[in-house]
A and B are shown apart, each in its own frame.
Chain A
Amino acid sequence: MKNKLIDRLQILSISLIWLLFTGIAVWILNLIKESLRLHDSPDASLGISLVAIPVFFTLSSVLTYVFIGLRKGRRKDVEH
């Protein structure tokens, strides 16, 4: 029961990481949309988004890789 709860919490934490990434990406894309609508130097907004979105994507991917990799890399015969 306790192990199942911890498993669920771990899966939830991976989802939260991607929620953070999605939130930031949506926020930046919304600001680009606004700058295009108002003709307010959209090139600067595009420049920032080109850097920021991949950075957060990389961080989320690395964490997901670690979490999934560690679970897969466990010995089958030992249980924590």
Chain B
Amino acid sequence: MEKAPAAPNPDYDLLRPIEDPGKSFYYIVAVLLVIILYTGYVYIRQLYYGLGVTGMAQPVTWGFYIINFVFFIGISHAGTLISAILRLSKAEWRRPITRMAEVITAIVLAIGGLHPIIDLGRPDRMTHLFFNGRLQSPLLWDITSITAYFTASTVYLYIPMIPDIAILRDRGVKPRWLYEFLSWGWQGTAQQHKVLDRAMNVLMVVVIPIAISVHTIISYIFAMTVQPGWHSTIFGPYFVVGAIFSGIAAILVLMIVFRKVFRLERYLKLIHFNYLSVLLLIMSLLWFYFTFSEYLTGYYGHEPNEMRVFWYKFSGAFAPYFWTMVTCNFLLPLILLSNRKTRTIPGILIASISVIIGMWLERLIIVVPSLANPRLPYPTGIYIPSSTEWTLFIGGVSVFILGYMMFARFFPVISIWEIQEGRQESTKAVTERITSYMPDPQPPLAKE
């Protein structure tokens, strides 16, 4: 059945990247595809020659791939977790942010989850897990929790997208069959809204513990060993805090880029950046607290093996990385975000990029020094990443950018129906909510 032309949408700005992506979109996609193809070639070369083409050797048997695995999975906490918390707490300013954040999770999880396979010299042996895996191993907990998180995040991204997909279907955007298939006959009836609300309520509650469990379990890969620098009881929460921290920074960078490229100033206002950057500042302070607690406990115990790793980070070969990490994760965000004059878009961008770099360095500092200084009487190890590892890292980042661009090409990155719902219902809902928790006026005294 042919449809009449759709009425002009008041939020056309959000549909423009889909209906009119522009030539630059295709140029960037082409460049990214070239990088990804070259990365594929480099990976096949690694498969052919083995892990000897990487910088990994005894005793440092984990390098860039595991660092990037932890880093990418950490970034994934940007989306679903933060979105679920904002939705649950009924923070109205969440509306233009949640989907951008949720997309990060879905893409980054897929990239991060592949890294342990890239780290295997014989990836075909992954199949052994299905028949001979040991559920006692934290590595298997990881696979289970990442799969659960990926499934939950994708579902959590998709379900609130259905009304927007229906908008695209009704506007006749191509490929029409895709939007018809994905919209499940959405017509915006009261019954359909009820179904969507119920499902979202269940998902919000389910997704938060799954997200927290993912990074806690990733920390267990390290903490369940008795390696100096890893065997720590606070590693679970420390990793979760770091993940949320880097995740918020990633959302802020993406928001700034999208605001600029797609001229979304009407939707992504300064107040959104202000709220999120204050959250980033709080996470920076929390991160510093955890880092301080972690190293103080180790230093106070003064166990010789622990101290070797400690000094390796504080004043040894890894000191430049360690102090850069402290500057990027704590000093710069503190200076830029605690001052109103510097808490501007450029200031927030610098602080966010600094946090992303700092958090990557944190993963490097956790993984390598403990392996380079083993408990057994071996000489200190050396790890210098090879061009193969650098290429695969750049390839991973390119896959992320391409994935995000492709998503933005086919679906709105800001939820149109939630914005419209907010305009129509938020003021009334917020007023009712405030009235419900404000103290009732004092009853008039009997004398009066």
Given contacts A34-B132, A48-B144, A66-B195, contact A55 B181 (CB under 8 A): no
- A58 interfacial contact with B, CB 8 Å: yes
Q: Are B195 and A35 in contact (CB under 8 A)?
A: no
Interface size bracket, A side:
35 or more
Given contacts A28-B135, A44-B135, A62-B199, contact A78 B187 (CB under 8 A): yes
Residues of A within 8 A of B185 (CB): 70-71, 74, 80
Query: A78 — nearest CB in chain B belongs to which residue?
Result: B187
Q: How far is the CB of A14 from chain B (nearest CB, A)?
A: 10
Question: How far apart sit A73 and B1, CA to CA, in the bound complex (Å)?
Answer: 20
Residues of A within 8 A of B206 (CB): 55, 58-59, 62
Q: Are A70 and B169 in contact (CB under 8 A)?
A: no
- B203 interfacial contact with A, CB 8 Å: yes
Given contacts A6-B177, A73-B191, contact A59 B184 (CB under 8 A): no
Residues of B within 8 A of A55 (CB): 148, 152, 206, 210
| CB within 8 Å of A: which B190-212 residues | 191-192, 194-196, 198-199, 202-203, 206, 210
Dominant SS among interface residues on chain B:
helix
- B122 interfacial contact with A, CB 8 Å: no
Q: Are B189 and A49 in contact (CB under 8 A)?
A: no
- B26 interfacial contact with A, CB 8 Å: no
| CB within 8 Å of B: which A48-80 residues | 48-49, 52, 55-56, 58-59, 62-63, 65-67, 69-75, 78-80
Question: Hey, what's the 0/1 contact readout for B385-404 against A, CB within 8 Å counting as 1?
Answer: 00000000000000000000
Residues of A within 8 A of B133 (CB): 31
Q: How far is the CB of A26 from chain B (nearest CB, A)?
A: 10
Q: Are B192 and A69 in contact (CB under 8 A)?
A: yes
| CB within 8 Å of B: which A1-55 residues | 2, 6, 9-10, 20, 24, 27-28, 30-32, 34-35, 40-41, 44-45, 48-49, 52, 55
Query: B147 — nearest CB in chain A belongs to which residue?
Result: A24
Q: How far is the CB of B252 from chain A (nearest CB, A)?
A: 29
| Cβ-neighbour of B184 out of A40, A45, A71 (below 8 A) | A71
Q: Are B189 and A62 in contact (CB under 8 A)?
A: no
Q: Are A10 and B184 in contact (CB under 8 A)?
A: yes
- B263 interfacial contact with A, CB 8 Å: no
Q: Are A52 and B148 in contact (CB under 8 A)?
A: yes
Question: How far apart sit A63 and B199, CA to CA, in the bound complex (Å)?
Answer: 8
Query: A72 — nearest CB in chain B belongs to which residue?
Result: B191
Given contacts A52-B144, A70-B184, contact A65 B195 (CB under 8 A): yes
Q: Are A80 and B130 in contact (CB under 8 A)?
A: no
Residues of A within 8 A of B210 (CB): 55
Given contacts A6-B180, A71-B184, contact A31 B159 (CB under 8 A): no
Residues of B within 8 A of A28 (CB): 135, 144
Residues of A within 8 A of B186 (CB): 70
| Cβ-neighbour of B195 out of A30, A41, A69, A80 (below 8 A) | A69
| CB within 8 Å of A: which B126-145 residues | 130-136, 140-141, 144
Residues of A within 8 A of B162 (CB): 66, 70
Lowest 4 CB-CB distances: which A-B pairs, in order?
A: A69-B195, A73-B191, A45-B135, A73-B192
- 12 CB contacts below 8 A, A to B, read A41-B136, A44-B135, A48-B144, A52-B148, A55-B210, A59-B155, A69-B199, A71-B185, A72-B191, A73-B189, A75-B187, A78-B187
